[in-house]
Amino acid sequence: MTKLLLVDCDGTIRKPASRAKFISRPTDQKIISGADKAVFSYYDQGFTIIGVTNQGGVEKGYKTLQNTIDEQVYTLRLFPQIKYIFFCPDYAGMLLYKVCLKSDGYDFDVFNRQNFIDLNTNELVYDSFRKPGSGMLKMAIDSLDDYPSEVLFVGDSPEDEAAAVGAAVDFIWASVWRQQFL
C-alpha cells in the first residue's frame, strides 16, 4: 500500500543560505536542521515523498520561472528521497509545475487548472493550486499510481494547514516534525 508524505519546501525543509527572507538564486538554500533526517526516516518507512510549494515570487518578478525550476532541481538534489516537487507560480492558482530529476538532468510538466473539468458536473476538478487552496495537494495525491492508504502533510504556515484541511489529509507542523529527528 502506498503511503504519501507531502512536504512544504520553504520554511519546512529548506531556507535561504544567505539568511535573506526568500531564496534569491537556486543555490541560495540549505537544509533546515532535522529535515534531512525526517525525510529519510519517512522514506525508509516506505513513504513516497512529494514536495509542494507556492512560488509567488515568479508572478511578483522577484525570480524567473527558470530560476524557480532550477531551485526545485537543487532541492531535489539535496533531498534525493523526494520523488518530485510541485510548485504554483501564480496568485490565481491556475498553473502548477511538476519538477523531477532524470539521469541526464531534469524534466518538468505544466498543468492548467482549467484543463481539469468533471464531465458529469462541468465543474473544475481542482480548486486553486496555490495554498491555502487544496488543488496542489490533491494533484500530488492523484499523481500516484495507487491511492495512498495514508497521507501526511508537513508545513510551516496557516496556509499549509488550511490546504491540508481542504484536501482532507493529516497535517503536522514542521517544527514539531523536525524536532523528532534532532
* Chain-centre distance for alpha carbon 4: 12
Tell me the CATH number at 79. Answer: 3.40.50.1000
d(CA 32, CA 91): 26
Name the phi and psi angles at 123, rounded to 5.
-105, 155
Name the phi and psi angles at 41, rounded to 5.
-60, -45
Q: How confident is the model at residue 21 (pLDDT cuts 50, 70, 90)?
A: confident
d(CA 182, CA 164): 25
Supply the range of the domain harboring residue 112: 3-179
d(CA 60, CA 42): 34
State pLDDT tens for residues 61-117.
Answer: 999 999 999 999 999 999 999 999 999 999 999 999 999 999 999 999 999 999 999
The answer, yes or no, to whether the previous bond of 132 is cis (omega within 30 of 0) is yes
Q: How confident is the model at residue 1 (pLDDT cuts 50, 70, 90)?
A: confident
Q: Report which residue type is found at 27.
A: T
Q: Are 95 and 129 in contact (CB under 8 A)?
A: yes
Instruction: Average the pLDDT over 24-46 and give the result.
Output: 96
Split into its structural domains, the chain has a count of 1
Which among 174, 94, 108, 75 has a CA at the least distance from the CA of 136? 94
